[in-house]
């Protein structure tokens, strides 16, 4: 069975275009507004939706995404509701979905069952932030993960031998961090993005998407020139926070994101 992530990147390769990956926290600012916002992002042209799974201790996230998780949890978001959220989105859209999560919610739900239920609901991939891929082999329970592509995370500080290992076992796409630190749009992407992408491409043909610090069309275009995709998260989440109570939140997020998407699609590659 073909995976939406793979077919998305094949379509983009055929058109010599980069992917736009939009991150939002599922359930932020509330369940209904979040679902309509995700639909608006898909309608605006996002190629992949990265859904954050709300967690009470998101240590790898900056304050913007931490507060988004808090808002979602305060409005009752849970893993079972996440599954329904995906099903509801799938009733109207076919855009690829990647779940961006810490291990704790997945493990508490049941590692194998989470993969089964998420795939059945319509998710396509998963990025487990705090589970080192080489640790999976040490625990038989964590090898039972059929149905979802496991997205690999590679940072600028990843040593070459580990980079090779991660690249060779990558699925779907590789999330390359443009810089060190926690998530957030407070710092621009590193000028060495091209070097990082080139170093990873020595070991794999898996598409490489770059995120962390991208918040303007100019930054999106620069990163798109050097990679297979652009990930924008905190800049979108900040807009959600600023307009959380606005009845036209989905339209506002679409208007903010459209220039970023257009810049990604036409970066003079």
> pLDDT tens digits, residue range 173-205?
999 998 655 455 445 565 689 999 999 999 999
- For the question of residue 248 being annotated catalytic, the response is no
Domain limits of the chain? 4-265
4-265 belongs to which homologous superfamily?
A: Aldolase class I (3.20.20.70)
Q: Give exposure, 217-244, as e/b (b: 16+ Cβ within 10 Å).
A: bebbbbbbebbbbbbbbbbbbbbbbebe
Q: Which of 61, 117, 222, 228 is catalytic?
A: 61
pLDDT above 70 covers a percentage of the chain that reads 94
CA atoms within 13 Å, Cβ hemisphere of 123: 31
Above pLDDT 90, what percent of the chain? 82
The residue with tokens 């496991």 is 150
State yes or no: is 50 an active-site residue.
Answer: yes
Instruction: State the catalytic residue, choosing from 50, 117, 124, 228.
Output: 50
Tens of pLDDT, residue by residue over 60-102, are: 788 999 999 999 999 999 999 999 999 999 999 999 999 999 9
Nearest 5°: the CA angle 138, 53, 257 is: 125
**Digit-coded pLDDT (tens) for 21-30:** 999 999 999 9
Beta carbons within 8 Å of 263's beta carbon, 6+ residues apart: 217, 218, 220, 221, 224
Average pLDDT over the chain reads 92
């Amino acid at each position: 069975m073909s995976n939406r992530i793979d077919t998305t990147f094949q379509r983009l390769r055929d058109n010599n275009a980069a992917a736009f990956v939009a991150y939002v926290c599922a359930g932020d600012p509330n369940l209904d507004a979040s679902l309509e916002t995700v639909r608006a992002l898909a309608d605006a042209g996002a190629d992949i939706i990265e859904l954050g799974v709300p967690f009470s201790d998101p240590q790898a996230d900056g304050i913007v995404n931490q507060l988004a998780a808090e808002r979602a949890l305060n409005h009752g978001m849970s893993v079972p509701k996440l599954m329904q959220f995906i099903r509801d989105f799938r009733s109207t859209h076919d855009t690829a979905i990647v779940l961006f999560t810490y291990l704790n919610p997945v493990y508490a739900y049941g590692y194998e069952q989470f993969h089964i239920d998420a795939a059945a609901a319509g998710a396509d991939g998963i990025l487990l932030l705090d589970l080192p891929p080489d640790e999976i082999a040490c625990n038989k329970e964590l090898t039972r993960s059929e149905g979802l592509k496991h997205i690999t995370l590679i940072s600028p500080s990843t040593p070459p031998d580990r980079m090779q290992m991660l690249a060779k076992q990558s699925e779907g796409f590789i999330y390359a961090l443009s810089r060190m630190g926690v998530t957030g749009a407070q710092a621009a992407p590193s000028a060495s993005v091209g070097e990082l992408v080139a170093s990873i491409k020595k070991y794999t043909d898996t598409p490489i998407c770059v995120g962390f610090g991208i918040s303007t069309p100019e930054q999106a275009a620069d990163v798109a020139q050097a990679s297979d995709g652009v990930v924008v998260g905190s800049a979108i989440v900040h807009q959600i926070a600023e307009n959380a109570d606005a009845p036209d939140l989905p339209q506002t997020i679409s208007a903010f994101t459209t220039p970023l998407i257009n810049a990604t699609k036409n970066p003079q590659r």
